Amino acid sequence: MRQKALLALILVMLLAIGNVSIVQFLLRESDGVAATLNVAGKMRMLGQRIGLETLAARRNPDLPAPASTDLSAAFEAAHDALRFGGQAFDLDIRPVPEALAPQLKDIRQAWLRYRRVVDALTDAPADGSAGERAAVADLTRAGADLLARTETLVDRLVARAREVQRRALYSAYALFALDLLFLGLAGWVVSRRILRPIQVLAQQCRALAAGDHGARSSLPSGDELGELGRALNDSAAHIEQLLRDVEKEHAALADAQAMFDGLSANTVAGIYMVDETLSFTYANERMADMLGYSQAELMDGFPLERLFVGPAYETVRAQALDRFEGHEARTRYECVARRSDGEQIELEIFGSLMRLHGRPTLIGIMFDITERKRAEASARRAALVYAHTSEAMVVTDADGVIQDVNPAFTAVTGYGPQDVLGRTMSVLSSGRHGADFYRAMWADLQATGRWNGDIHNRRKSGEEYVERLSINTSYNEDGSVNCRIGLFSDVTEKRRREASIWHQAHYDHLTQLPNRQMFEENLRRSIEHTRQGGLPFALLFLDLDLFKDVNDTLGHEAGDQLLRLVARRLSECVRSSDLVARLGGDEFTLLIRDLHDPDDIFSLADKILDSLSQPFALGGHTVRISASMGAAFHPRDGDSDSELLRAADLAMYAAKEQGRNHFRVYSAGMRGLWPARIQPQSG
């Protein structure tokens, strides 16, 4: 700025000096023209004066002698001053321009002539003679010529003066325009380099004052204003950064306060602050509820020794002092506290050291773990049961992946935890159950969360076993599956015993065919099946011919062997879906299911009768027997099991009445035979 100001001062001084110089030049030029014109005018007057004084001296001799010589010298001096420059009449005269040199020359010649005429008149006698009159006339003519010559010079000088004035005026105009140009340029420079930067800086200052700390100026560097703009930009940037930092700090403080308020408002953990006197300075509402005191009471310098008594207080005091003394920055411990009503509760305490208002303060959280302690004790007892129960237990996730097993699981399956953890229960699969079985199991689990039943699995040794499995599901609070718990025991021997008892109750011990009880159950199921839309079935009642003779002749052992062989041949004659049963003695029944054509029963009867008529080898004996067989159809011949059995029995009796080795189908006309058929006939 100093350089700019100095440059502006120099420009103003130069402009002033130029203006003064130009004015001085114009003044000198004007003064010179005026002096020249003045001298020319004086020359004109001198010429007239010389002539007048000469004439006056001629007319009045008493007058003093004319000073023509001095006047002539003055005229000559003025002429020389105009021609060569110099001083005349106390005026500094510059030579007239070359353009006026001819007029000045004419004046010189006219002057010389005029001098000669004046001298001639002075020497001429003043007698009024013609000579005198001629001399006066010559003087008049020479004076008029000199006057004309000087008038011409004066006119030319006047014109010259006007030209000089016009040029001076034009020069003044040009000087004024130049001044305006310089002033405009100076104003532009001042506006561009000073006022505009000042306006930019002022606008930036107003923006900064209004809070817009992002406002920046783009002034070029190199002068004080540019440096000021850069310094202002740096200051604004620094202020903006400081404000951002302050805003971040405020936001961080607000976030920390919001976080603390949110934590303080929780309903799970008690939050506290303790000062160096081991008294509470802050406690949230949850802590007040936990301890049974009001929040205001706890925050009013409530001492720790009122909350913790005996050894518990010593533990808390030692922990707090360790943190205040810097031995331990943070800690966690458990202790017993006493509520306001005297009830003791278990607390888990977390704490750390901080500085609040320049003083050390303990801040931390407390949890009421009374229920957790009880749950842990219960869990320990459950773990003992889990580890020592004889019933196998397995815990899986929702997809059946094994998470844990108890020792009984290993005892039953032979698989240790390392063998099954992370695998599905299919590791135990025996292959006895199809995909439908497992789909039904999972459907029950998805629908009810439970499943019970027997399942055939395989031990690690490869041995199959039967387990009684009970599956229950544990759910999360949102209803999703937490885990599934399976309890099972090995019921292989139990099921074998139950199967043996069931077999004895439902099968004939001699022939291993279904007995009367199982036959009647199957007969009722077949009737129900047909009622529900199934195909008709046939009931065949068969009685052996001549069996009593074999039994009496060869003994009961041979008779038993014959019954076993008959059972085998009957089973071989029918399909796997049909049923062959022994009702007792030598009476057999057959259920032939799903008959598409009732006439098919005749070919089957022929097959059975032919098979039974073939010889039987009984030890060292060969015997021949035959059979009488009757048939009844459901639902044609009866709708109940008793009706069908009676109809088949009557048909068999009709066949026996017809002679051995015959087959008859029940008809309505056989009902008259019933009174005579009180008991099935044998032999």
205: tokens are 């200052």
| pLDDT of res. 500 | 85
Asked if 654 contacts 664 with a C-beta cutoff of 8 angstroms, the reply is: yes
| pLDDT of res. 680 | 44
Task: Kindly report the CATH number assigned to the domain that includes residue 131.
Answer: 1.20.120.1730
| pLDDT of res. 70 | 73
Based on the domain organization, do 477 and 541 belong to the same domain? no
Based on the domain organization, do 523 and 672 belong to the same domain? yes
| pLDDT of res. 422 | 93
pLDDT in tens, 65-108: 555 567 777 777 777 777 777 777 777 777 877 777 787 777 77
| pLDDT of res. 196 | 76
Task: Kindly report the CATH number assigned to the domain that includes residue 327.
Answer: 3.30.450.20
| pLDDT of res. 26 | 64
Is 681 among the domain residues?
A: no
Based on the domain organization, do 467 and 512 belong to the same domain? no
Taking CA atoms, 419 is separated from 358, 427, 460, 464, in Å, by: 60, 9, 10, 18
Based on the domain organization, do 10 and 53 belong to the same domain? yes
- The pTM (predicted TM-score) of the whole model is 0.41
Contacts 24+ apart (CB under 8 A), 287-291: 287/366, 290/345, 290/366, 290/368, 291/337, 291/339, 291/340
Tell me whether the omega of the peptide bond preceding residue 635 falls within 30 degrees of 0, making it cis: yes
Write out the residue range of the structural domain in which residue 298 sits.
265-372
Task: Kindly report the CATH number assigned to the domain that includes residue 608.
Answer: 3.30.70.270
Q: Which residues of the chain have pLDDT under 50?
A: 675-676, 678-683
| pLDDT of res. 75 | 76
CA dihedral sign, ordered 511, 514, 520, 523: negative
Taking CA atoms, 455 is separated from 96, 270, 401, 458, 495, in Å, by: 149, 52, 18, 10, 11
The strand pair at 450-458 and 587-592 is best described as: unpaired
Domain boundary among 343, 372, 401: 372
| pLDDT of res. 683 | 41
Based on the domain organization, do 644 and 542 belong to the same domain? yes
Is 399 among the domain residues?
A: yes
Is 193 among the domain residues?
A: no
Is 379 among the domain residues?
A: no
| pLDDT of res. 62 | 60
Based on the domain organization, do 527 and 629 belong to the same domain? yes
Domain boundary among 186, 213, 237: 186
Based on the domain organization, do 562 and 450 belong to the same domain? no
| pLDDT of res. 234 | 77
DSSP string, 429-462: B-S-S-HHHHHHHHHHHHHHSEEEEEEEEE-TTS
- Total domains in the chain come to 4
Is 93 among the domain residues?
A: yes
Compute the radius of gyration of the chain from its Cα atoms.
76
Residue 508 CA to residue 512 CA, distance in Å, equals: 5
Based on the domain organization, do 541 and 669 belong to the same domain? yes
Is 253 among the domain residues?
A: no
